[in-house]
Chain A
Amino acid sequence: QQQVKQSPQSLIVQKGGISIINCAYENTAFDYFPWYQQFPGKGPALLIAIRPDVSEKKEGRFTISFNKSAKQFSLHIMDSQPGDSATYFCAASKRGAGSYQLTFGKGTKLSVIP
């Protein structure tokens, strides 16, 4: 059973447009919601993250919106640039015994065209 559902699978956005990726989770034990960005041939890297006690977090052109009651969160990329073209993964984390178990969504391949 997939615990974090991500959509869309792929997204094409014009340069300067807004990219929106959505995620939904099921387990209310999750307490940390990061987004990872992965470029081809590289490992995923943390982009931005949010905890469930806030509804929005903004870092530059990247914003996470979080709806605790709906168990949904989304990533908005404002003024999307070709350099933003990558695969984006939402994730949800819960503290286990001595480590954090991170469950990833299936990823969204974003292509920003000039």
Chain B
Amino acid sequence: DTAVSQTPKYLVTQMGNDKSIKCEQNLGHDTMYWYKQDSKKFLKIMFSYNNKELIINETVPNRFSPKSPDKAHLNLHINSLELGDSAVYFCASSQGQPGANVLTFGAGSRLTVL
């Protein structure tokens, strides 16, 4: 059973379109994250939710909107896609208790904007 699963794995779309990536974790963790990995492999945090509440919101264009319907799900919606949004987006989860800050990542969703 996949611990952190993301869909879709690949996404190819035109500039200006709107797209969503979904993430689900079955680990019982109470914190979920979105990370962006660019073409140079640099991993940068975008958002973090703890028990459905937005905790971290890094400097990300407001075209990106995360939504957490419950603590096992964190979705990412992107409006008006731009070429620079092409990247691999990773969902991750962790247990928010002190001393348990191990992140479990999904396999990633590769977004290509043409």
Q: Which residues of A contact B (CB under 8 A)?
A: 32, 34, 36, 38, 41-46, 49, 87, 89, 93, 95-104, 106-107, 109
- Is the Cβ of B105 less than 8 Å from the Cβ of A107? no
- Is the Cβ of A44 less than 8 Å from the Cβ of B102? no
A13 CB to closest chain B CB (Å) equals 19
- Is the Cβ of B40 less than 8 Å from the Cβ of A106? yes
- Is the Cβ of B42 less than 8 Å from the Cβ of A49? no
A104 CB to closest chain B CB (Å) equals 4
- Is the Cβ of B53 less than 8 Å from the Cβ of A44? no
- Is the Cβ of A44 less than 8 Å from the Cβ of B96? no
Any chain A CB within 8 A of the CB of B92? Answer: yes
- CB nearest neighbor in B for A101: B56
Query: Please, which residues of chain A bring their CB within 8 A of the CB of B92?
Result: 43
With A and B bound together, what is the CA distance between A43 and B94 in angstroms? 14
- Is the Cβ of B56 less than 8 Å from the Cβ of A96? yes
A42 and B41 in contact, given A32-B101, A93-B101, A98-B31 (Cβ under 8 angstroms): no
With A and B bound together, what is the CA distance between A42 and B90 in angstroms? 10
Interface 1/0 per residue, B88-114 and A, CB below 8 Å: 001010101010011111111000000
Interface residues on B, range: 20 to 34
Query: Please, which residues of chain B bring their CB within 8 A of the CB of A97?
Result: 50, 55
Any chain A CB within 8 A of the CB of B45? Answer: yes
- Is the Cβ of B96 less than 8 Å from the Cβ of A98? yes
With A and B bound together, what is the CA distance between A45 and B106 in angstroms? 9
Query: Please, which residues of chain A bring their CB within 8 A of the CB of B79?
Result: none
A101 and B43 in contact, given A44-B105, A93-B101, A96-B55 (Cβ under 8 angstroms): no
A-B contact pairs, 26 of them (CB 8 A): A42-B107, A43-B107, A44-B43, A44-B90, A44-B103, A46-B103, A49-B102, A93-B101, A95-B101, A96-B56, A97-B55, A98-B50, A98-B51, A98-B53, A98-B96, A99-B48, A99-B50, A99-B94, A99-B96, A100-B31, A100-B103, A102-B45, A102-B101, A104-B43, A106-B42, A107-B43
Any chain A CB within 8 A of the CB of B21? Answer: no
Query: Please, which residues of chain B bring their CB within 8 A of the CB of A87?
Result: 41
A98 and B107 in contact, given A34-B102, A104-B43, A106-B41 (Cβ under 8 angstroms): no
